[in-house]
Amino acid sequence: MKKAVHFGAGNIGRGFVGEILAENGFSIDFIDVNEQLIEALKSRHTYDIELADQTHQHVVVDNVSGINNATDPAAVVEAIAKADVVTTAIGPNILPRIAPLIAEGLDERLKNNEAPLDVIACENMIGASQALKADVYKTLQNKEAADRFVGFPNAAVDRIVPAQNHEDILMVTVEPFHEWVVDASQMRNADLKLDGVHYVPDLEPYIERKLFTVNTGHATIAYMGYYLGYEDIKSAISDESVLAQLRAVLAQTGGLLVKKWKFSGSELETYQNEVIARFMNPDLSDAISRIARTPLRKLGYDERFIRPIRETDGLELPNDDLIDTVGMVLHYQDSGDAEAVELRKMVDGASDLNAVIEKITGLPAGPLVEKIKSAYDKYVR
């Protein structure tokens, strides 16, 4: 049986990556710091995925186990040394923290194993696998062999998997839709093509279409929904003003995607409508706090709001609804989210809000920052 090592036994890790790997005949070592999850994976070796639709169909994922990387890093090194594929779905902010352990595992492997290996980061981030590679190479010893035998192909994964609250800690409810796209040009083990994964020669159009439609859209519903007092996506999107803002924002990211990547207008409209229908799924319950989590990350230079704002600006395309939404993001509060707490401290304590906006977004002083500040002011209550 082929072996997969997957970092992050959370929602998308169990709810999507695990399903595809298992369907392709892999055994999976899930790596996580959540001891309860790891214990359950180690003792049961199986878990259930439930589809959030009328069928409530169950998919069983077998041949799984777990390793706690905080308490047993040596076992992770050993697993990477023998793996046929390594994947992650752990959060972009965590990638630099697991990189040294991946480097150790690769060094151990490269001592006597020249079988090609791909390390695929399945995160909502442009260029995640290549960013992970840069972090891994900071401590990797045998870079020359890694250059020859280890690939870090960028990827995009799409499936809405909410926070879970089942009595069974491993069970995970997911939407039926799923899409996993991998950049084939960056693979070293190109013979290993997984059923259920779409391999493309250039990932950029796909990750940007996904991030600037699904994630910009999702975030728009979440931050505006929060501002209006909603707690979950379903109630927020039933508010006509939220739906109108979502459509307005997607018209602006869509304008960019059509111009930049030459998607046909009708193809993109179909894609957007499917995404909106997914947000409205009556069988899925998703908290705004999950979608709005880590707001400082989401306001980053290459993230779901600022990158399309920058690029529409450069192409002289409209972006006022995107900027308006960022005004609402700057009002977001969640005492349970460290980045949201930090955001409040930075914004509420600002003597010069423009400087804070520049710091958070990476934008230079200028008209875009001024417009974001005005959008923030518009939503002060």
Ligand X SMILES: O=P(O)(O)OC[C@@H](O)[C@@H](O)[C@H](O)[C@H](O)CO
- Could you list the residues known to form a binding site, using ranges: 4-15
Closest CB 159 distance from ligand NAD, rounded Å: 6
Give, in order, the Cα–Cα distances in Å from 276 to each of 139, 234, 305: 43, 11, 18
- CB of 31 or CB of 80, closer to ligand NAD: 31
- Interface residues for ligand X in 92-151 (CB under 6 A)? 124
Q: Give the per-residue contact string, 290-329, with ligand NAD (x = CB under 6 A; - = no).
A: ----------------------------------------
- DSSP class of 304: T
Binds 90: which of ligand NAD, ligand X, none (CB < 5-8 Å by kind):
ligand NAD
Residue 181 contacts residue 207 (beta carbons within 8 Å): yes
In whole angstroms, give the CA distance from residue 129 to residue 347.
32
Alpha helical stretches, state H, the chain:
11-12, 18-23, 35-44, 73-82, 95-112, 128-139, 143-149, 204-210, 216-227, 233-237, 240-261, 265-279, 288-291, 295-298, 306-314, 320-329, 338-348, 353-361, 367-378
Closest CB 93 distance from ligand X, rounded Å: 10
In whole angstroms, give the CA distance from residue 110 to residue 186.
19
Q: Virtual CA dihedral for 242, 244, 247, 250, nearest 10 degrees?
A: -60
The single residue among 8, 225, 255, 308 that binds ligand NAD, judged by CB under 6 A, is 8
Binds 214: which of ligand X, ligand NAD, none (CB < 5-8 Å by kind):
ligand X
Alpha helical stretches, state H, 140-285:
143-149, 204-210, 216-227, 233-237, 240-261, 265-279
- CB of 16 or CB of 149, closer to ligand X: 16
- Establish how many alpha carbons lie within 13 A of residue 168's alpha carbon, considering only the half-sphere containing its beta carbon: 11
Q: Is 12 in the site for ligand NAD (CB under 6 A)?
A: yes
Q: Give the per-residue contact string, 92-111, with ligand NAD (x = CB under 6 A; - = no).
A: x-x--xx-------------
The residues that bridge with 118 in the sheet, in sequence order, are: 151
Q: Is 218 in the site for ligand X (CB under 6 A)?
A: yes
Closest CB 183 distance from ligand X, rounded Å: 18
Which residue's entry shows tokens 């035998």? 149
- Interface residues for ligand NAD in 111-140 (CB under 6 A)? 123-124
Q: What are φ and ψ of residue 380, in 5° steps?
A: -70, 135
Residue 332 corresponds to which tokens in the numbers above? 């977001």
Residue nearest to ligand NAD (CB): 10
Closest CB 34 distance from ligand NAD, rounded Å: 4
In whole angstroms, give the CA distance from residue 250 to residue 237.
14
The annotated binding site for NAD(+) is made up of 4-15
In whole angstroms, give the CA distance from residue 74 to residue 95.
19
- CB of 41 or CB of 140, closer to ligand NAD: 41
Closest CB 349 distance from ligand X, rounded Å: 25
Binds 9: which of ligand X, ligand NAD, none (CB < 5-8 Å by kind):
ligand NAD
- CB of 124 or CB of 252, closer to ligand X: 124
Return the range that interacts with ligand X (CB under 6 A); candidates 40-48, 104-112, 287-295, 314-322: 287-295
The single residue among 83, 128, 291, 356 that binds ligand X, judged by CB under 6 A, is 291
Residue 370 corresponds to which tokens in the numbers above? 């001024």
In whole angstroms, give the CA distance from residue 182 to residue 198.
6
* Cα of 78 vs its chain's centroid, Å: 27
- CB of 83 or CB of 214, closer to ligand X: 214
Closest CB 92 distance from ligand NAD, rounded Å: 5
The single residue among 14, 209, 234, 293 that binds ligand X, judged by CB under 6 A, is 293
- Interface residues for ligand NAD in 40-79 (CB under 6 A)? 69
Q: Which residues bind ligand NAD (CB under 6 A)?
A: 7-13, 31-34, 69, 89-92, 94, 97-98, 123-124, 157, 159-161
Q: Which residues bind ligand X (CB under 6 A)?
A: 124, 158-160, 214-215, 218, 291, 293-294
